[in-house]
Structure 1
Amino acid sequence: MKPTSPYALAQAECADIGVPAAEAQQHALLCERAVRKASIRLLPVLLLGYIFSYLDRINVGFAALTMNHDLGLTPAQFGWGAGLFFLSYAVCEVPSNLALHRFGARLWLSRIMVTWGLLSAATAFVAGPHSFYALRLVLGVAEAGFFPGVAFYLTSWFPRAYRVRVLAWFTLGIPLASVIGGPLSGGLLSIDAFMGLSGWQWLFIAQGLPAAVLGIWAWAALSDSPRDATWLSSEERGALARQLESEVTAGGTRSFRAAVTDPRVLLLTVALFTLSIGITGIGMWLPQIIRREGLGMFQTGMLSTIPYACAGLAMVVAARRMDKGRNYAASLTMSSAVAAAGFMVSAVSESVSVALVGITIAMIGVNIARTALWAIPPTFLSGAAAAGGIAFINAVANCAGFAGPAMVGVVKEMTGSFTAGLVTLAIALAMTAGLAIALGRVARKRAQPA
């Protein structure tokens, strides 16, 4: 029978790393103990960091409700300022991750959190379009590399038997941020001239400064690798390091130049782009889709949390199954197809309730698909190739931050409804499923698991 638990998998793999059979049980026990300690120590600060990172992405949209009037920003000026963040973020993502590989994750991730937190809070004091442009541009530079940096960092700490569920717990930050972001931002916006500052200014301060504090926590909590972790016993450090070193893919891609020309990386890049069209498209337009039958603001806000809450739960459950099967390309194919079907259900329904069910199915699908996709690069990339390749995939896919919402908006303007826009998102997810099938075939030809 094929082993399924991480403990059993670690025992089964001992033969591959030269551990005598008599020592296999002890080795697996030490690895499991080390992973448990690492999860408790590392994941809370990284999860909270991702929550505030996502809040930092969406808070400018809430702030615009009153900020644009106070600063005299036109819709075009606000759009340019909001978009400049994604531009500088995408451009600096690969250099940031290569710097993380060189200087160490502890220093670099802490630096990212502190600088983006301070700059985000400083957005409260912009005085017009030019200062808004400048701060958004610099904010993108500061925050660049956080997600791919953490994704790479987790591969240096957690063996593959645990990796997908760890990624799922980390990416749970998006559903959690989406659930709490609306009510939190709405409450902060209601503040009226407290200490001489408007609600939108308090929004940036209250959601920015905690990230800087998290950066200090990260400096205290993180260790660059298991061998640097004084909070593990020497036996635990040795067992975990040995397990991780044994899993570096023999003959895998190790240079950044080779990584960005690898067909698997290129397929993953396009797949994440089409997947992100669905993620960002539905995320930006979900409240308006729910409100199309005249629901109130409070009802809309509460209903919009349902898809994210269901997606977060489903993602954690699915990750455990993916860790056992390890057929990540197949999981990416199936979950993308489910998401496409969910978008179609929402598109053809005239009932808000049925449409919400469809959107919930789609949200579950895209979140599971994202977790499956990010489990694939470490199966054939390592070292600088993993750091740069993961950042490259994410940087290109960030362009979907423009494409997804824009596509839905343009189609709605042309047709007068969300139906065609949701069909467009379904097509994008169907393309993701097709790319995942192609990825699986390429991986099998290269005899590399995916």
Structure 2
Amino acid sequence: MAVAGSEPRLRRMNMDDLGRATISRVSWRLMPLLGLIYMVAYIDRQNVSYAKLQMVSDLSLSEAAYGLGASLFFIGYFLFEVPSNLLLEKVGARVWFARIMATWGVVTVLLGFTTSPTMFYVLRFLLGAAEAGFFPGVLYALTLWFPQAHRARAVGSFMLASAVANAVGAAIGGVLLDLDGMLGLRGWQWVFIATGIPAVILVPVVLATLPSGPAEARWLTERQKSWLADVLRAERSGEHVADHRNPMRALADPRVLALSVAYIGFPLAAYGLGYWLPTIVKGFGVSNTINGLLNVIPWTLVGLALWWVPRHAARFQNQRWHIAGPALIGAVALVLSVIVPGPVLKFVMLCIAAPAIFSGQPVFWTLPPRFLKGASAAAGFAAINSIGNLGGFVAQTVVPRIRDESGSDLVPMLFLALCLALAAFGVLLAERRLPTSV
């Protein structure tokens, strides 16, 4: 005879098992491919930091002028990100991600044949326009596949690719530079050509294997699709979750604007560090290849932090300090990286700063779905990311100018640290205005 209450408990256990199996299958089917695409995108975005070591002299550019060209990526990104994400919401992730990859791959290869500063500026702008919408597009797509409780870990797994990209990019960037002269091409040309081709190769893979949503996933059972649809529908039906009739109205939502301003400091610090790290390490007196290999270390630590912090945050109802805390640690480490004596201690501080800057971002990206859904969520993700990524423009224009005019390595790091600290406090203030649950 069944004990009273045991049957509902058994049904609950079965549903829990079904949920775990569904999330596990979605994770294993989606995240490796999305992570691989993001890794290629991130390498194509950051390869200018290695090409710079030769390209500056070849094109007769100053550090500030090169930084301006590199940063035009973010202007193209800013202008086209919201329209791109709204189109993705209409046509689906499979087709739109394939289009994004094809165009950014071609533009990256063309950068390898740059012959003038003007051509460099135009192609960097076009690269930003081509890639616009991929990162926020994935963030939006993940809301179609993962319930809120699992989303930070999914975003963290996705962003792990940025750490792998920086590590791989660091390892191959120096090696490609040392191919200088092969087939009559300079090393910086090989950096762009070799890193642009994989994006084009992956286009047919995406078209063949990536479903645009759970309903198209042949590898999910009908029970799993039903479970996922029911959980996500319940989350989106919350009274605090907005789906604006015109998704562009999400751009004027005060909460979107607050998160956008708060987010600026994260890309600013990340790109500032990523852009300058090869130059800083080269100042230790190492070769291009050793420079690349040393840069693998901080990005490996970033990967570990992106794995651990979202999992630790999942234990807490209030996760705001899992965003702000690492940012404040990163700000302190950036300052210490210039103040402490000797290259070893400086490098240790950089190895602390890098994971601290990145590790809170997966938790940050769980904030918009607490008050947005549907096309409004797509627009909101794109707006926050596009405005925030103007920090990348600042990092690659203002920071080199600060260095040129101050003649100091400390002042640029103080600027990055201040922006990161302001971002941490901005998150604490913005998060207080959001609903606590969906």
User: Please, what TM-score do these two structures have when normalized by structure 2?
Assistant: 0.89
Most deviating of 245-254 and 85-94: 245-254
- 2:345 is equivalent to residue 354 of structure 1: yes
Q: Compared with structure 1, are the counterparts of its residues 201 and 421 closer, same or farther at alpha carbon in structure 2 (3 Å cutoff)?
A: closer
Q: How many angstroms does 1:23 deviate by?
A: 3.0
User: Is contact 1:114–1:216 with CA below 8 Å preserved after alignment?
Assistant: no
Q: Compared with structure 1, are the counterparts of its residues 245 and 390 closer, same or farther at alpha carbon in structure 2 (3 Å cutoff)?
A: same
Q: How many angstroms does 1:55 deviate by?
A: 1.0
Q: How many angstroms does 1:412 deviate by?
A: 3.3
Q: How many angstroms does 1:362 deviate by?
A: 1.9
Of structures 1 and 2, the one with the larger relative CO (CA 8 A, separation 6+) is 2
User: Is contact 2:18–2:224 with CA below 8 Å preserved after alignment?
Assistant: yes
Q: Which residue, 426, 439, 444 being the options, matches 2:430?
A: 439
Q: Which residue of 2 aligns with 1:218?
A: 206
Q: Compared with structure 1, are the counterparts of its residues 356 and 365 closer, same or farther at alpha carbon in structure 2 (3 Å cutoff)?
A: same
Q: How many angstroms does 1:115 deviate by?
A: 2.0
Q: Which residue, 307, 312, 321 being the options, matches 2:312?
A: 321
- 2:92 is equivalent to residue 104 of structure 1: yes
Per-residue CA deviation, residues 176-235 of structure 1 (Å, 9 max, x unaligned), is 111121231222233355455444333323211211222221222211221221121111
Q: Which residue of 2 aligns with 1:14?
A: none
Alignment of 1:335-354 (within 5 A): 335-354=326-345
Q: Compared with structure 1, are the counterparts of its residues 134 and 432 closer, same or farther at alpha carbon in structure 2 (3 Å cutoff)?
A: closer
Q: Compared with structure 1, are the counterparts of its residues 166 and 355 closer, same or farther at alpha carbon in structure 2 (3 Å cutoff)?
A: same
User: Is contact 2:108–2:193 with CA below 8 Å preserved after alignment?
Assistant: yes
Q: Which residue, 242, 252, 256 being the options, matches 1:253?
A: 242
* Partners of 2:431 and 2:123 in 1: CA distance: 42
Per-residue CA deviation, residues 20-48 of structure 1 (Å, 9 max, x unaligned), is 76532222222221222221221111111
Q: Which residue, 417, 424, 447 being the options, matches 2:415?
A: 424
The size of the alignment, in residue pairs, is 428
User: Is contact 1:282–1:405 with CA below 8 Å preserved after alignment?
Assistant: no
Q: How many angstroms does 1:360 deviate by?
A: 2.1
* Partners of 1:217 and 1:448 in 2: CA distance: 39
Question: Match of 2:161, as an amino acid?
Answer: G
Q: Which residue of 2 aligns with 1:383?
A: 374
SS in 1 for 2:320: helix
SS in 2 for 1:191: coil
- 2:294 is equivalent to residue 303 of structure 1: yes
Q: Which residue, 170, 178, 187 being the options, matches 2:158?
A: 170
Q: Which residue of 1 aligns with 2:18?
A: 30
Q: Which residue of 2 aligns with 1:270?
A: 261
SS in 2 for 1:172: helix
* Partners of 1:228 and 1:305 in 2: CA distance: 38
Q: Which residue of 1 aligns with 2:109?
A: 121
* Partners of 1:345 and 1:64 in 2: CA distance: 26
User: Is contact 1:272–1:397 with CA below 8 Å preserved after alignment?
Assistant: yes
Q: How many angstroms does 1:423 deviate by?
A: 2.2
Question: Match of 1:28, as an amino acid?
Answer: D
Question: Match of 1:282, as an amino acid?
Answer: L
Q: Which residue, 106, 125, 135 being the options, matches 1:147?
A: 135
Most deviating of 251-260 and 176-185: 251-260
SS in 1 for 2:314: helix
Q: What percentage of aligned pairs have identical amino acids?
A: 36
Q: Which residue of 2 aligns with 1:243?
A: 231
* Partners of 2:126 and 2:393 in 1: CA distance: 19
Most deviating of 233-242 and 387-396: 233-242
Unaligned 5+ segments in structure 2 are 1-7
Q: Compared with structure 1, are the counterparts of its residues 345 and 198 closer, same or farther at alpha carbon in structure 2 (3 Å cutoff)?
A: closer
Q: Which residue of 2 aligns with 1:205?
A: 193
* Partners of 2:92 and 2:140 in 1: CA distance: 11
Q: Compared with structure 1, are the counterparts of its residues 275 and 243 closer, same or farther at alpha carbon in structure 2 (3 Å cutoff)?
A: same
User: Is contact 1:249–1:381 with CA below 8 Å preserved after alignment?
Assistant: no
Q: How many angstroms does 1:413 deviate by?
A: 3.5
User: Is contact 2:309–2:360 with CA below 8 Å preserved after alignment?
Assistant: no
Q: Compared with structure 1, are the counterparts of its residues 227 and 176 closer, same or farther at alpha carbon in structure 2 (3 Å cutoff)?
A: same
Most deviating of 396-405 and 57-66: 57-66
Question: Match of 1:104, as an amino acid?
Answer: G
Q: How many angstroms does 1:323 deviate by?
A: 2.3
Unaligned 5+ segments in structure 1 are 1-19
SS in 2 for 1:328: coil
User: Is contact 2:175–2:289 with CA below 8 Å preserved after alignment?
Assistant: no
* Partners of 1:120 and 1:293 in 2: CA distance: 30
Question: Match of 1:200, as an amino acid?
Answer: W
SS in 1 for 2:433: helix
Most deviating of 256-265 and 431-440: 256-265
Q: Which residue of 1 aligns with 2:3?
A: none
Q: Which residue, 369, 372, 380 being the options, matches 2:363?
A: 372
* Partners of 1:209 and 1:48 in 2: CA distance: 14
User: Is contact 1:329–1:376 with CA below 8 Å preserved after alignment?
Assistant: no
